[in-house]
Chain A
Amino acid sequence: MNLTLKIWRQKDAKSQGKIVEYPISGIEGDMSFLEMLDVLNEELINKGDEPVVFDHDCREGICGACSLQINGEPHGPDRLVTTCQLHMRMFKDGDTIFIEPFRAKAFPVVKDLMVDRSAFDRIQHAGGYVSVNTSGNTIDANAIPINKEDADEAFNAATCIGCGACVAACKNASAMLFTSAKVSQYALLPQGKVEATERVLAMVNQMDEEGFGNCTNTGACEIECPKGISLENIARMNREYLKASLKG
């Protein structure tokens, strides 16, 4: 497969970036998108050029490190996959592919396609945890009976890998799907109820402080999420937030 890549190149956080065109050939359909970028980088290094910087780690759809806005969609045109799971067979010979970093004011570009997603970490730090007594009297979590439906929903919310595709897809660069998944995974469980009020207020406050946009319910985040995190979580977070605001 012969392709034309239009890649965002940016020297560092302070420099102006631009789209640079790279022709690439010999790409197999069975390659992953990141493997295709590896081939390009090998060519660039052999020519003495600077390789394209992009985030990656596990390369099996678990870690959430790989990002990339591919042809206008986070993680590319396939559904329920991360960029490392995206196969080149999704493209045709002769295609032009735009590759850009996830764009949001709260995700500043570090270099080329790599962005700083530590805003998500700070939202987590604000309240995405439960306080557990570890003095030797820790209660086994399995000893607390939990309704199967709630356990399943909490688990589904907890599958969020924090990749940032929801922010990248949203026309408003809103982080509500991510934040709501982290709020929901605890709000649904008895262990999380103790700190529920403080949690949702602190996490939403942090989300707003980071400069993410407002959710307008377009649903783009749910469609593009590689883990299929549902919009139900956002409705739950809205309920939790209103309840907590009126209480606190």
Chain B
Amino acid sequence: MSGLIKSSIARKVAMALSGLFLVFFLLQHFTINFTSIFSPDTFNELSHFMGTNPLVQFVLQPVLIFGVVFHFIMGFVLELKNKNARAVKYAKYNGGANASWMSRNMIYSGLVILAFLGLHFYDFWVPEIVHKYVEFAPEDPTRYYGELLHKFESPIRTGLYVVSFVFLALHLWHGFASSFQSVGFNNKYSVAATKFAKAFALVIPIGFIVVALVLHFTH
């Protein structure tokens, strides 16, 4: 058990489990966002619930933040260790001959997602925290949809969100399916599981893009 913490396999499993947790979070986030394009009232109700429920606010939110921070820090640590494992680089390296671009550049797609999270926190999370826990403003359950629309008025911000979602798709394309292998799941169901993961990697980011574009162009 003592060797587990520093072993390469344990790190790989930890990356996979934190990634899987974030995949579940993405699904939940997308489901709520998607309601905004056909029912502002439902979006307000769900956002109000997520923003005020003590279990979500004081248990799930810290767990989520820990999951995100852990996934990124572990990603950087592994990248540094892996770079160190090949001190002298090849003069010619044909990585595309045997592995996808997505699988070879997880650190770069991850960095774009990290930058996006900075913007996303600045746009939504920070004002929300200030509103609730700094200004102690009175709660208005109908404010969420209006705030969302306001953010997507800017074509630059909408464009940045769309580009980030493309990188999210690239990251998920390898990461989600790869997490099954990391936790030791490779059997007769793996082909179906991989297809599901690849479909998820396309559908969810495209869905986020659709929401962003609909909010921008229809209001």
Write the residues of chain A forming the contact surface with B, with a CB cutoff of 8 angstroms.
6, 8, 19, 69, 71-73, 77, 98, 100, 103-106, 169, 171-174, 176, 201, 204-205, 207-208, 211-220, 223-224, 231-232, 234-239, 241-242, 245-246, 248
Contact = CB atoms under 8 A, between A and B. Distances in A.
A214 to B, nearest CB: 5
B86 interface: yes
B181 A235 contact: yes
16 contacts: A19-B91, A72-B90, A72-B92, A100-B92, A105-B84, A106-B85, A172-B82, A205-B7, A213-B82, A214-B81, A214-B82, A216-B82, A220-B99, A236-B184, A238-B181, A241-B9
A223 B85 CA distance: 21
Most buried by A among B7, B9, B186: B9
A239 B6 CA distance: 17
B82 A103 contact: no
A167 to B, nearest CB: 9
Contact of B86 (A71, A103, A214, A223): A103
B216 interface: no
Given A172-B85, A234-B181, A100 B11 contact: no
B3 A98 contact: no
Given A8-B91, A214-B81, A219 B4 contact: no
B78 A73 contact: no
A224 B98 contact: yes
A248 B2 CA distance: 9
Interface residues of B, number: 41
B50 interface: no
Contacts of A220: 95, 98-99
Contacts of B11: 214
Nearest to B10: A245
Interface stretch (B39-47, B56-64, B100-108, B141-149): B100-108
A7 to B, nearest CB: 10
Contact of B94 (A6, A72, A172, A231): A72
Nearest to A172: B82
Contacts of A217: 103, 174, 178, 181-182
Most buried by B among A105, A218, A246: A218
Contact of A173 (B9, B82, B91): B82
Contacts of A234: 181, 186
A172 to B, nearest CB: 4
Given A103-B89, A235-B181, A246-B1, A216 B8 contact: no
Contact of A214 (B8, B89, B174): B8
